[in-house]
Protein backbone atom coordinates (compact mmCIF):
# COMPACT_ATOMS: atom_id res chain seq x y z
CA UNK A 1 0.00 0.00 0.00
CA UNK A 2 1.07 3.57 -0.63
CA UNK A 3 -0.24 7.08 -0.07
CA UNK A 4 -0.48 10.09 -2.34
CA UNK A 5 0.21 13.63 -1.20
CA UNK A 6 -3.09 15.51 -1.32
CA UNK A 7 -1.96 18.88 -0.01
CA UNK A 8 0.68 20.88 1.75
CA UNK A 9 -0.89 22.62 4.74
CA UNK A 10 0.36 26.01 5.89
CA UNK A 11 -0.58 27.12 9.40
CA UNK A 12 -0.95 30.88 9.19
CA UNK A 13 -2.31 34.01 10.84
CA UNK A 14 -4.11 35.26 7.69
CA UNK A 15 -5.15 32.55 5.22
CA UNK A 16 -6.36 34.98 2.53
CA UNK A 17 -3.25 37.15 2.56
CA UNK A 18 -0.83 34.24 2.58
CA UNK A 19 -2.93 32.52 -0.10
CA UNK A 20 -2.70 35.65 -2.27
CA UNK A 21 1.10 35.67 -1.94
CA UNK A 22 1.45 31.99 -2.88
CA UNK A 23 -1.09 32.38 -5.70
CA UNK A 24 1.26 34.94 -7.24
CA UNK A 25 4.31 32.73 -6.58
CA UNK A 26 2.89 29.67 -8.37
CA UNK A 27 0.71 31.52 -10.91
CA UNK A 28 -2.48 29.68 -9.92
CA UNK A 29 -5.72 31.20 -8.60
CA UNK A 30 -7.12 30.62 -5.17
CA UNK A 31 -9.98 28.19 -5.79
CA UNK A 32 -11.49 28.42 -2.35
CA UNK A 33 -11.06 31.48 -0.21
CA UNK A 34 -12.86 31.78 3.10
CA UNK A 35 -12.23 33.73 6.26
CA UNK A 36 -10.07 31.02 7.81
CA UNK A 37 -8.95 28.81 4.92
CA UNK A 38 -7.76 29.18 1.35
CA UNK A 39 -6.85 26.55 -1.26
CA UNK A 40 -4.72 26.74 -4.40
CA UNK A 41 -5.04 23.75 -6.75
CA UNK A 42 -1.86 22.84 -8.59
CA UNK A 43 -1.78 21.17 -12.03
CA UNK A 44 -0.42 17.92 -10.56
CA UNK A 45 -3.46 17.51 -8.29
CA UNK A 46 -1.69 18.56 -5.10
CA UNK A 47 -3.17 21.53 -3.25
CA UNK A 48 -1.58 24.31 -1.24
CA UNK A 49 -3.91 24.68 1.75
CA UNK A 50 -3.76 27.68 4.10
CA UNK A 51 -5.53 27.45 7.44
CA UNK A 52 -5.62 30.08 10.13
CA UNK A 53 -4.35 29.09 13.55
CA UNK A 54 -4.18 31.19 16.73
CA UNK A 55 -0.54 30.59 17.60
CA UNK A 56 2.32 32.39 15.79
CA UNK A 57 5.19 30.67 13.97
CA UNK A 58 8.07 30.30 16.42
CA UNK A 59 10.78 28.08 14.90
CA UNK A 60 12.28 27.02 11.57
CA UNK A 61 10.07 24.85 9.35
CA UNK A 62 10.82 21.14 9.52
CA UNK A 63 9.65 20.79 5.90
CA UNK A 64 9.66 23.36 3.12
CA UNK A 65 8.96 23.75 -0.58
CA UNK A 66 11.78 23.87 -3.13
CA UNK A 67 10.74 25.80 -6.24
CA UNK A 68 12.27 25.42 -9.69
CA UNK A 69 11.37 28.50 -11.75
CA UNK A 70 10.91 28.56 -15.53
CA UNK A 71 13.07 31.72 -15.67
CA UNK A 72 16.62 32.23 -14.34
CA UNK A 73 16.82 31.69 -10.58
CA UNK A 74 18.08 35.20 -9.77
CA UNK A 75 15.29 36.78 -11.81
CA UNK A 76 12.72 34.72 -9.89
CA UNK A 77 14.29 35.62 -6.54
CA UNK A 78 13.93 39.32 -7.41
CA UNK A 79 10.27 38.83 -8.42
CA UNK A 80 9.48 37.04 -5.16
CA UNK A 81 11.21 39.70 -3.08
CA UNK A 82 9.00 42.31 -4.77
CA UNK A 83 5.93 40.21 -3.87
CA UNK A 84 6.87 40.36 -0.18
CA UNK A 85 9.30 37.49 0.41
CA UNK A 86 12.50 38.05 2.36
CA UNK A 87 15.95 36.61 1.64
CA UNK A 88 16.90 34.48 4.63
CA UNK A 89 20.02 32.65 3.40
CA UNK A 90 21.88 33.17 0.14
CA UNK A 91 23.36 29.84 -0.93
CA UNK A 92 24.08 30.95 -4.52
CA UNK A 93 27.63 30.34 -5.73
CA UNK A 94 29.76 32.42 -8.10
CA UNK A 95 29.66 29.60 -10.69
CA UNK A 96 25.84 29.83 -10.88
CA UNK A 97 25.07 26.78 -8.77
CA UNK A 98 23.28 26.86 -5.42
CA UNK A 99 19.95 28.21 -4.25
CA UNK A 100 18.33 31.00 -2.28
CA UNK A 101 16.34 30.44 0.92
CA UNK A 102 13.45 32.87 1.22
CA UNK A 103 10.70 33.45 3.74
CA UNK A 104 7.10 34.14 2.77
CA UNK A 105 5.25 37.06 4.44
CA UNK A 106 4.59 34.92 7.54
CA UNK A 107 8.16 33.59 7.74
CA UNK A 108 7.69 30.13 6.21
CA UNK A 109 10.95 29.12 4.56
CA UNK A 110 11.19 27.98 0.94
CA UNK A 111 14.01 27.59 -1.56
CA UNK A 112 14.41 28.86 -5.11
CA UNK A 113 16.54 26.49 -7.15
CA UNK A 114 18.10 26.95 -10.58
CA UNK A 115 15.86 26.68 -13.61
CA UNK A 116 16.10 23.56 -15.77
CA UNK A 117 17.98 25.56 -18.40
CA UNK A 118 20.51 26.78 -15.82
CA UNK A 119 21.04 23.24 -14.52
CA UNK A 120 21.55 21.92 -18.05
CA UNK A 121 24.08 24.66 -18.82
CA UNK A 122 26.24 23.85 -15.80
CA UNK A 123 26.10 20.05 -15.76
- pLDDT tens-digit profile of 42-97? 999 999 999 999 998 888 888 999 999 999 999 999 999 999 999 999 999 999 99
**String of DSSP letters for 67-111:** E--SS-HHHHHHHHHHHT-EEEEEEE-TTS-EEEEEE-TT--EEE
For domain 1-56, give the CATH number. Answer: 3.30.720.120
Q: What is the CATH number of domain 57-123?
A: 3.10.180.10
Write the CB contacts of 99 (distance below 8 Å, at least 6 apart in sequence). 66, 73, 91, 92, 111, 112, 113, 114
The DSSP call for residue 92 is: E
pTM for the model: 0.92
Q: How high is the pLDDT of residue 61?
A: 87
- In the chain, where are the structural domains located? 1-56, 57-123
* pLDDT for the residue numbered 35: 79
Amino acid sequence: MTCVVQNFFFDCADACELGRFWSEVVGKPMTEAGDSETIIEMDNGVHLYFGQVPEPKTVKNRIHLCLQPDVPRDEEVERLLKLGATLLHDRRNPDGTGWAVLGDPEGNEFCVLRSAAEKAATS
